Amino acid sequence: MPQMSPLLWLNLYLFFFLTFMLFVMMNYFTYTPSMKEQEGLKYEAHQMNWKW
């Protein structure tokens, strides 16, 4: 059975790595988060009574 030369393994690795990186970048840049509008964000300060 013939063996692959190291150069062919390197080409195969680069091909799959570049394909994977292209896939990851496409997923990252095509993601559009949905921004829901918040009506009057109310902040309530809770008074804490510390009993020592």
Convert the pLDDT of each residue in 1-52 to its tens digit: 467 788 888 899 999 999 999 999 999 999 887 877 766 566 677 888 877 7
Rounded to 5 degrees, what angle do the CA atoms 49, 51, 52 make?
140
Distance between CA atoms of residues 24 and 18, nearest Å = 10
39 half-sphere exposure, CB direction, 13 A CA radius: 0
- CB proximity list for 4: less than 8 A, separation 6 or greater: 12
Q: How far apart are alpha carbons 24 and 16 in whole angstroms?
A: 12
